[in-house]
Amino acid sequence: MKKSLILKSALVLAGLVGASSSFAANSITASMQTNAKVGATCAVSATNIAFGTINPAATGTATANGTIAATCTKGTAYTLSLNAGASGAFTARTMAGATSGNTDKLAYNVYVDNAYTTVFGDGTGATQTLAGTGTGSAQSYTTYGSLSLNQFLTPDNYSDNLTVTLSY
């Protein structure tokens, strides 16, 4: 009887082991997703247009270039505009002297083309803006500054602050 009990116990135990291995062979799955939203974003930077020292007794014009860099997410359309500066007039941009009491104004302008024919502005009047579509990398635009040399003004350091606006 002991042998038959041991045999029965062994069979039951083997059945349980077999049953547990059959449970382990079954599986079920579930799915999950990952998601993120990439928002449109841009950054802008600019270098100065530095004419250097000019000779007012000379004839002709002095020219100097600046650069605007726009970095926007891939596929993001944008527009670059430039304000009129302190003069408030795109057709008559002026630089003011740094010395107190100097009321002279040095006339200049900024253009979108190296032919100096199209004023860089906000798109009003005869001014033009610059437009592009982001690539994810910086895109550079050259700005072209020009001023007449024969402006007889008080010797001084002249400057104007312009604001570049990137709209997207």
Q: Mark 7-27 as b/e (b = at least 16 C-beta within 10 Å).
A: eeeeeeeeeeeeeeeeeeeee
Q: Is the pLDDT of residue 164 over 90?
A: yes
Q: Residue 91 half-sphere exposure, CB side, CA atoms within 13 Å?
A: 3
**Looking at residue 36, what DSSP letter applies?**
-
Is 47 a member of any domain? Answer: yes
**Span 96-115, pLDDT tens digits:** 999 999 999 999 999 999 99
Number of domains the chain contains: 1
Structure tokens at 105: 């104004």
What does the alpha-carbon distance between residue 54 and residue 57 come to, in Å, rounded to a whole number?
A: 9
Q: CATH code at 79?
A: 2.60.40.1090
pLDDT higher than threshold 60 for residue 51: yes
Domain range for residue 144?
42-167
The whole-model pTM stands at 0.80
Q: Above 50 in pLDDT, residue 13?
A: no
d(CA 11, CA 13): 5
Alpha helices, H only, the chain: 2-25
Phi first, then psi: what are they for 155, rounded to 5°?
-60, 125
Residue 54 is assigned to a structural domain of this protein: yes
pLDDT digits (tens, 9 = 90+) for 74-87: 999 999 999 999 99
